[in-house]
Structure 1
Amino acid sequence: MESYERRTLLDQARVWWDEPDQVTFYRSEVDSGPTPAEQLLLRALPTSGRVLDVGCGVGRIAFHLADRGYAVTGVDISEAMVDTARALAEQRGSTATFRQVEPLALPFTSGSFDAGFAGKVHCYVPSRAGRQEFLDEVGRVLRPGAPLLLVSYVVPNEQEADDALASDEQHQRAASRFRSLEPLDTFCGDRGYVHWFTPGSLREELADSPAFEIEEVREDTPGGVLRLVVLRRT
């Protein structure tokens, strides 16, 4: 994908996540903590240490982990999400801290964290090359051997996804503004970019990352639309 188009899509994502209705929605979920599927995945965390919550939103996972005794730093591209998370941390007396970041440049020294969590976030990074850069950057700030816990949506197969996109007028209108989209790139609500994965394409992309080895990929439920992934920093 051409660099200016990737930058445009990333900027669109930032604006999208800054919208008040997005912040309000995620604020309403913050006290629910991890879903049952996420609870399963969090079992792969070390018993203690420093955890990076990538795409933290307003802190739903970060607060849960801080309550369990982890030293948690949440990062997000959205200023509105981070501001809300900080206000909630103060209200709750939580030790979790939050920073707004650029999506592909984390402001931490190499090996700063003992584990990472990235829930439904890397699908918002445009292009396969961009997602590899994202994984490389997250890997850089994890210590060797650290786990990265990743949650991703999948679609059953590429043909069904292509058929759905072909009949989606909002997607077609948004996609027409870009020349270098890849298969299974889509747009939600005529704006927000999301890359769909099939189970095979998700595993293939993750296997190509030099920063990580795949330790486990499981379904949330038999035939479910989520994949729970444990990657291990090489």
Structure 2
Amino acid sequence: MPYQDEEFDTLIGFKILCYIPTRELRNENLKEFYRVLKQGGTCIITQNIVPDEYIDDAKDEHYLSSPASEFGILERGDNFPSGNGYVRWFTESDLFNEIKNTDFKIELFESDEEHEGAGYIKLIKLRKPCK
């Protein structure tokens, strides 16, 4: 990110992790968020999730016919909706595990059901600890 270290008090990202292929690149993205956030700052992100029992249903005819489906870097949950582009579907545990392996402190990790949603979006509040 073209910003200085600790430049922002707050970062907000709506459904962005799902468009970043590979756990490594998503982790690098979260590290950049951490870097540009001030100590004690807040990072709010949302992300769609898929129930565990439906995660493999994303592999439809578009996925199977895509040459990219042969890439060795693909993870469970990666797919190519309608044959265009890339998206990663997270299960709740996949998303939680990726976020907990950062330097952020997780202050909130809850379903949108708590806010009259359908339960397919996670609301996540992360805090950069003060040193």
TM-score with structure 1 setting the length = 0.51
2:32 is equivalent to residue 137 of structure 1: yes
Decide which of 115, 122, 126 is 1:231's aligned counterpart: 126
The 2-side partners of 1:216 and 1:201 are apart by: 16
After superposition, residues 38-53 of structure 1 pair within 5 angstroms as: none
Residue 106 of structure 2: SS of its match in structure 1? strand
- Matched with 1:67 is none
2:105 is equivalent to residue 192 of structure 1: no
- Matched with 1:122 is 17
Give the structure with the higher percent helix: 1
After superposition, residues 12-27 of structure 1 pair within 5 angstroms as: none
Residue 179 of structure 1: SS of its match in structure 2? coil
TM-score with structure 2 setting the length = 0.88
How far apart are residue 114 of structure 1 and its match?
A: 0.5
* Aligned-residue CA RMSD (Å): 1.4
| Identity fraction in percent | 35
The 2-side partners of 1:149 and 1:155 are apart by: 20
After superposition, residues 1-234 of structure 1 pair within 5 angstroms as: 106-157=1-52, 159-162=53-56, 164-166=57-59, 168-174=60-66, 175-210=68-103, 212-221=104-113, 224-234=119-129
How far apart are residue 169 of structure 1 and its match?
A: 0.6
The 1-side partners of 2:106 and 2:97 are apart by: 10
List alignment gaps of at least 5 residues for structure 1.
Answer: 1-105
How far apart are residue 177 of structure 1 and its match?
A: 4.6
How far apart are residue 189 of structure 1 and its match?
A: 2.2
Q: Pick which of 174-183 and 128-137 moved more.
A: 174-183
How far apart are residue 143 of structure 1 and its match?
A: 0.3
Give the structure with the higher percent strand: 2
Alignment check: 8 A CA contact 1:119 1:152 kept: yes
How far apart are residue 134 of structure 1 and its match?
A: 0.3
| Number of residues of Structure 1 aligned to a counterpart in Structure 2 | 125
Residue 146 of structure 1: SS of its match in structure 2? strand
In the TM superposition, structure 1's runs of 4+ consecutive aligned residues that sit over 6 Å from their partners are none
Higher Cα Rg, which structure: 1
The 2-side partners of 1:220 and 1:165 are apart by: 22
How far apart are residue 176 of structure 1 and its match?
A: 2.7
Alignment check: 8 A CA contact 1:165 1:172 kept: no
The 2-side partners of 1:209 and 1:122 are apart by: 14
How far apart are residue 116 of structure 1 and its match?
A: 0.2
The 2-side partners of 1:208 and 1:183 are apart by: 18
Q: Which has the higher contact order (CA 8 A, sep 6+)?
A: 2
How far apart are residue 180 of structure 1 and its match?
A: 1.7
Residue 83 of structure 2: SS of its match in structure 1? coil
Partner amino acid, structure 2, of 1:145: G
- Matched with 1:18 is none
The 2-side partners of 1:149 and 1:176 are apart by: 32
